[in-house]
A and B are shown apart, each in its own frame.
Chain A
Amino acid sequence: MNVDLSMFERFAVTFQPGDIIFCEYEPGDNFYLIQSGRVQIVKILGDIEKNIDILQPGEIFGEMAILEEAPRSATAVSLDKVKALEFNRENFEVLMKGNPQIALKLLKLFTKRIYDQKRRFMILTLSNIEARVADVFLMLAEDQPTEDPDEDQRTFSTKVEDIAHWAGMSYAECKKVLNHFAGQRRVEIYEDHIIVKNINDFQRFVSSQRKKEKAE
């Protein structure tokens, strides 16, 4: 992003590794533009801390609080020593007017997030749990450009618990479905990755299932 931010130096804040920048459920007034260091976005679901994203310098976070009054939807923790510019509702408009590039970047960020959320939602609308797990792989495949479009086999370095999360089911339930797929030789499950033998097969399976459920 070619934007001169030196004039915003007075808004700079620093965080030590492990500092909470803001916490889910807190009322939010500020949003941040990372200048150096990485920020992890997590959500605490019961007894587990789920990694949502790791943000790099140049990225923006906490921006939703600025547009509407609502509590934070996740927790932001600094991974490294983080330097960020901190903006609030009052200077947000000034920043945006003075830096339309940042505003545009934010707008694009939102289009992507809306799309991602919709995609996730589509998975969850499937009532057949096998189709749901298969659709998670389709979603992951869409985000992961292929080297060879003719290749049916795909490798995902995704953990079972993450797949369970996307599919909106328990770990045990998800593991059962995966084992069933493995029994059919449609997937191979390894310690740190999962191979889908034929992604097109999953594609056909999911779309026929979607049609069937729609007709019901």
Chain B
Amino acid sequence: MPKAVRYHANSVVYFKGDTNDRVYILKSGKVSLNYNDIETGQEIHDIINTGEFFGVKSALGRYPREETAVVLSDAAMVVFSVPEFEQLVLKNTRIIMKMLKVFSNQLRRMHKQVRNLISEGKDGLEPEEGLFRIGQYYLKSQKYHQALYAFRRYITYYPSGKYASEATTHMEEAEKALQGGGAPASMAGMGTGGGKPSQSAEQREELSETAKKYYNAVSLFSQDNFQAALEEFKKIVQANNSEEYVAKSQFEIGRCHLGLTQYDKCIEHYTQMIKHYPRHPDLRDALLYVGNCHEKMGNTGKANGFYKKVLSMSSENEVIYRKAKRALRELEVSK
């Protein structure tokens, strides 16, 4: 049973280095957790608020206390053993979720600190560059399957990134190596035998031919060559060899129109696209672009409507939500 206990001011609940498997929740009074910052050695005093748990990490992780818990003014708390604590939170996942967020933040901070010490001065890579470098690493070590994955992701996230055209070229190299090589070299070093995705060779070739064309067009787009990109994307749509790439190209065609400042064409194209693909993965981006077009054409009312529509379809932690929010704000300012 969880126990209610009282501590007088200036007493200590536990010392740094102690091992015990108790978790505490502060009911009233004031408790401070004292420890030295591992980076600077500076003494830190974290004040616990009433209603807050403490001692959770070391109790759950079964390692020695990392801080000394000092009572600053007479305090009442409830003490749980680990099994009691587990029972409590299992009935109340909200507590777990909250703690998960706190812990994951701490963990990220630790990762960063460790990284800073390991690669002194040499800061962590920007995600864009990092992703590209990983592709290069796999290509160099002839793990083409993996290289292809990394470059594909690069192109997906950074279609107009600084390495977009290089990534496209590398992808072609990797695809060629995979098709020519028979037994894929990508499996070397994985310690396992074959096992390719279960597609017939023919189908794969067809698909990769279309993929090649698609990425070529993406590369043109990334170099701001919108007219040429537009024509390439249109060809992919006409050839109609791969449902996936047709849908992707349809989306890109709209972006080309936008790039070419053909706003009415862009709106018309996306209107058609949305009718045809009501569940297109890039639906919200398309709506955002339609809003952009209306804004450029001076229809701020319509633009406003589309941005709000995007907002209503997104949750706050999504990139698209922030994009729409920003567009709305700018619309407001320019009025």
Measured as residues with beta carbon below 8 angstroms from the partner, the interface class of chain A is: 35 or more
A106:B100 contact, CB within 8 angstroms: yes
Q: Which candidate, A20-28, A186-194, A200-208, is the interface stretch facing chain B?
A: A20-28
A175 interface residue per 8 A CB criterion: no
User: Which of B89, B107, B187 makes the CB contact (< 8 A) with A18?
Assistant: B187
CB distance from B255 to the nearest CB of A (A): 20
Across the interface, do A23 and B104 meet the contact criterion of CB distance under 8 Å? no
B317 near A120 with CB under 8 A, answer: no
The contact size tier of chain B is 35 or more
Interface residue A68 (Cβ < 8 Å from any Cβ of B): yes
Q: Contact at A108–B60, with CB atoms within 8 Å?
A: yes
In the complex formed, the residue of A with least CB distance to B130 is: A25
Q: B128, B146, B195, B317: which contacts A81 (Cβ < 8 A)?
A: B195
* Contact A101 B90, beta carbon cutoff 8 Å: yes
Name the CB-closest residue of B to A46: B137
* B114 adjacent to A64 (CB under 8 Å): no
Contact call A24/B130, Cβ cutoff below 8 A: yes
Q: Which residues of chain B (154-199) have a CB below 8 Å from chain A?
A: 157, 184, 186-187, 190-197
Interface stretch (choices A121-129, A149-157, A176-184): A121-129
Which residue, of B38, B56, B107, has the highest number of chain A Cβ atoms within 10 A? B107
Chain B residues with CB below 8 A from A27, complex form:
127, 157
B104 touches A20 (CB 8 A): no
Q: How far is the CA of A30 from the CA of B188 in the complex (A)?
A: 27
Task: Please determine whether A16 and B195 come into contact, CB atoms closer than 8 angstroms.
Answer: yes
Confirm or deny: B9 has a beta carbon within 8 angstroms of a beta carbon on chain A. Answer: no
Contacts of B141 in A (CB 8 A): 49
Q: Given A25-B125, A69-B317, 7 other A-B contacts at CB below 8 A?
A: A16-B197, A20-B146, A23-B149, A44-B134, A103-B97, A114-B110, A118-B38
Interface residues of A (CB under 8 A from B): 16-20, 23-27, 44, 47, 49, 63-64, 67-71, 73, 75, 77, 79-81, 89-90, 93, 96-97, 100-101, 103-104, 106-108, 110-115, 117-118, 120-122, 124-125, 168, 214
Question: Taking beta carbons and an 8 Å cutoff, which residues of B are in contact with A?
Answer: 38-39, 41, 56-58, 60-61, 63, 66, 86, 89-91, 93, 96-97, 99-101, 103-108, 110-111, 113-114, 117-118, 125, 127-128, 130-131, 133-134, 137, 140-141, 143, 145-146, 149-150, 153, 157, 184, 186-187, 190-197, 315, 317
